[in-house]
Amino acid sequence: MSKILIIGAGGVGTVVAHKVAQNHAAFGEIMLASRTKSKCDAIANGIGTKYGNKTIQTAQIDADNVPELVRLFRSFQPALVINVALPYQDLTIMDACLEAGVNYLDTANYEPKDEAKFEYKWQWAYKEKFEKAGLTAILGCGFDPGVTSIFTAYAAKHHFGEMHYLDIVDCNAGDHGKAFATNFNPEINIREVTQKGKYWENGQWVQTAPHEIHQLLNYPNIGPKESYVIYHEELESLVKNFPTLKRARFWMTFGQEYLTHLRVIQNIGMARIDPVLYNGMEIVPIQFLKAVLPDPGDLGENYTGETSIGCRIKGLDKNGKALTYYIYNNCLHQDAYKETGAQGVSYTTGVPAAIGALMFMQGIWKKPGVFNVEEFDPDPFMEQLNKQGLPWHERLNGDLEV
């Protein structure tokens, strides 16, 4: 049976470890490795053997260091590595996979540390190398990117002859009781939401000022929430893989309080990603900020409310008739915490990563090369979403609001 290696022991890594352990029959031995081994040990001890799994092995790893990764891969010999460390480590882990003959899966595209730029070009450039090595790389297998891309592929396969307008809508109506906290790694999160807005229209990218376009959107079981057009990485691969799309946008809800904090953080220079001199040593303000903000992995205990993420699509059905389609999942923070000790945003990211790994292990999503998730058959993945804690719902011919 094939072994699996999880890299990254944050909120998402915690959920992946639970889900992989729950599905241990498909995975065999499990190892969790990260920069801080004590965090891996705490997660492994928390899970123990409660799902009938073997104890999760742990290891210390610096995922920026290719030779170190190769040594770990050669000694543990996993079939697949699930990368839920940070996007900065994507390329080093992919390099090590090529050297040691290991397959690869992640949830966020590579980003250089010194530039907040979300682009697939760096990872797509590995396509030929993975093809030649006979290895599979599955990119962006969280919720968004991930499930939103698979929802789109499912819509294309089962409902549309031609998709024209895609609006991905991401609402977190949860309350963690803190004045300000981010739901996943603060550095990555703040870099993402403070950048300029960008969407696809008539064959080109349209840029906006940050949070320039916004409107109230209604979310199932939640109600109206102010939603903002921001750039999100899955748009890049979706417009390439579904070329009939005339427009593709991504909307995310933010509360006024959150936006005010963000504005202050930016205005006082704490969102800077370039090093500044402090007491004779170089520090990066956003990395310092991360150290003083609440750890997203610790938000779960008092988190109430739910997330609702989905795709609203307009186009022509298989018979050429106008069709509107909304597919979404709602996830309760409390339920996520009860099951895994992590909050809903970690849960909605970690569960799809584990399902993607399951798809690979079962040989369903396995072909040499580098692929975004929408390039695989969505059906077996969609079936697993319903079984693994993220059930989805569809609405046909309703008002999409956008």
Binding site residues, ligand NDP, CB under 6 A:
8-13, 34-36, 39, 61-64, 84-87, 89, 107-108, 142-146, 184-185, 188, 296-297, 345-346, 349
- Please state, in angstroms and rounded to a whole number, the distance separating the CA atoms of residues 111 and 118: 6
Rounded least distance, CB 346 to ligand NDP, Å: 6
Nearer to ligand NDP, 85 or 169 (CB): 85
Nearer to ligand NDP, 297 or 300 (CB): 297
- Please state, in angstroms and rounded to a whole number, the distance separating the CA atoms of residues 77 and 80: 9
Rounded least distance, CB 40 to ligand NDP, Å: 8
Query: Smallest Cα–Cα separation from 289: which of 177, 176, 189, 175?
Result: 189
- Please state, in angstroms and rounded to a whole number, the distance separating the CA atoms of residues 382 and 344: 19
Nearer to ligand NDP, 309 or 323 (CB): 309
- Please state, in angstroms and rounded to a whole number, the distance separating the CA atoms of residues 366 and 377: 11
Rounded least distance, CB 343 to ligand NDP, Å: 10
- Please state, in angstroms and rounded to a whole number, the distance separating the CA atoms of residues 335 and 288: 32
Sign of the dihedral defined by the CA atoms of residues 30, 36, 39, 41, in that order: positive
Rounded least distance, CB 146 to ligand NDP, Å: 5
Nearer to ligand NDP, 85 or 262 (CB): 85
Q: For residue 145, say if its preceding peptide bond is cis, omega within 30 degrees of 0.
A: yes
Rounded least distance, CB 69 to ligand NDP, Å: 9
Cβ within 8 Å of residue 277, ≥6 positions away: none
Rounded least distance, CB 150 to ligand NDP, Å: 12
Nearer to ligand NDP, 29 or 234 (CB): 234
Which amino acid is located at 142 in the chain?
G
Nearer to ligand NDP, 103 or 172 (CB): 172
Residue 42 burial (C-beta neighbours within 10 Å; 0-12, 13-18, 19+)? middle
Nearer to ligand NDP, 95 or 162 (CB): 95
Rounded least distance, CB 161 to ligand NDP, Å: 29
Sign of the dihedral defined by the CA atoms of residues 146, 149, 155, 156, in that order: negative
Rounded least distance, CB 202 to ligand NDP, Å: 27
Rounded least distance, CB 30 to ligand NDP, Å: 16
- Please state, in angstroms and rounded to a whole number, the distance separating the CA atoms of residues 336 and 340: 6
What is the token pair recorded at 161? 């002859």
Nearer to ligand NDP, 315 or 372 (CB): 372
Nearer to ligand NDP, 87 or 285 (CB): 87
Q: Which residue is nearest to ligand NDP (CB)?
A: 10
Is the separation of the CB atoms in 374 and 152 below 8 Å?
yes
- Please state, in angstroms and rounded to a whole number, the distance separating the CA atoms of residues 226 and 133: 47
Q: For residues 379-400, b (16+ Cβ closer than 10 Å) or e, as one string?
A: eebbebbeebbbebeeeeeeeb
Rounded least distance, CB 247 to ligand NDP, Å: 22
Nearer to ligand NDP, 14 or 53 (CB): 14
- Please state, in angstroms and rounded to a whole number, the distance separating the CA atoms of residues 343 and 334: 7
